[in-house]
Structure 1
Amino acid sequence: MAPVLLDHVAALFHAVPGRPRDPLILSERALREDPDEPGTDKVQCMTPRSIVHLFGLMYGELGLVGCSSHSGRRTFGTRAARRVVEAGGSLRDVQQLLGHRNLSTTQKYIDGSEDAKRRLV
């Protein structure tokens, strides 16, 4: 996670009261009265479709073309793969961080680098 993003997430955790299992991002309809306990609110998680839609709106407002809710995950995978050797790890570590069962799935996330290829040769 980029340091600036980590700072903002940490600030959000400190500024907004909640429980550790509460969702990080809430929709406008996230709070619903708990039918089992009238008078209390039950936090509803956003659906995957709602999160994809939210990312689409944010990218659109920022003028970012070609981005998706999944592109951040892909960028993380590529950057982690490039830095894993420096950290003393392997692609297996990146695979585990991404939660993939098969290394072949992880390989699809990793973009090559022409500069790295030149340096290797």
Structure 2
Amino acid sequence: MLAKQAKVLSPAQVQTVLAMIGNQRHPSRNRLIFLLSIRAGLRAKEIASLTWAMVTDAEGHIGDCIRLPNQAAKGQSGGVIPMARELRAAVVAHAEQSSPFGLSDRVIQTERSKMTTAQVIVNLFRSWFQALGFDGCSSHSGRRTFITRAARNIGRFGGSLRDVQALARHRSLATTQRYIEIDAEAMRKVVDA
């Protein structure tokens, strides 16, 4: 079991973060950072390493998936992650507000640099969650939320926990299972059914 896991965000908390981000400096960039975590399950390192080439097709248009190479991921956990419509729209909006980009440029940049680091992403999430009083939340909360939601919904689409494992890019199904938050209410309903 993971020693101290980041908390999973409720739908209301997700909306609260998005509302706060919308009123800060760099709203399109920060919305994209948050959605890359909550809607694609990317880690801080992966968000910081994301280049335009990873989110565009062969013609340079924003694609419908993220092609994450192993060197941008944790360990050898690269892969192809489908983009939710909301996330793709955020990528498009951010591209429209960014300076012209080449295919090797980083998607997430700062005012002082054309790239960022995983630690900057971690600190950004920490500042958002501290400002909102979301104790126990961290940059990994979005990933845990993504994996938990995927596990709860995958059966509706004919999928299984192995599909969630592939989305999470985990080598072991046991690792994926540790990310999934237990839902006591769902357990009661299953027992009563």
Paired letter, 2:148: T
- The residue that corresponds to 2:146 in the other structure is 76
Change (3 A) 1:21 1:91: farther
Measure the CA separation in 1 of the matches of 2:162 and 2:149. 14
**Letter of the structure 2 residue corresponding to residue 18 of structure 1:** F
Aligned residues, how many? 108
Larger Cα-atom Rg: 1
Question: Within the alignment, does 1:64 sit opposite 2:147 as a pair?
Answer: no
Give 1:56 deviation, angstroms. Answer: 1.4
Query: Runs in 1 of length 4+ with deviation above 6 angstroms?
Result: none
1:100 to 1:67, Cα distance in 2 relative to 1, 3 A: same
Cα distance in 2, alignment partners of residues 88 and 15 from structure 1: 38
Question: Residue type matched to 2:94 in 1?
Answer: L
Indicate yes or no: 2:181 matched with 1:111.
yes
Q: Which has the higher contact order (CA 8 A, sep 6+)?
A: 2
Deviation at 1:5, TM superposition (A): 5.6
Question: What does residue range 1-121 of structure 1 map to in structure 2 within 5 Å?
Answer: 1=39, 7-16=89-98, 17-31=100-114, 45-121=115-191
- Stretches of structure 2 that go unaligned for 5 or more consecutive residues are 1-38, 40-83
Aligned-pair CA distance for 1:93: 0.7
Task: Tell me how far 1:26 sits from its aligned partner.
Answer: 1.2
Q: Which runs of 5+ in 1 are unaligned?
A: 32-44
Identity of aligned residues (%): 48
Return closer, same or farther for 1:80/1:57 CA change in 2, 3 Å cut-off. same
Aligned mates of 2:151, 2:179 — CA distance in 1 = 9
Please give the alpha-carbon distance, in whole angstroms, between the structure 1 residues aligned to 2:130 and 2:113: 23
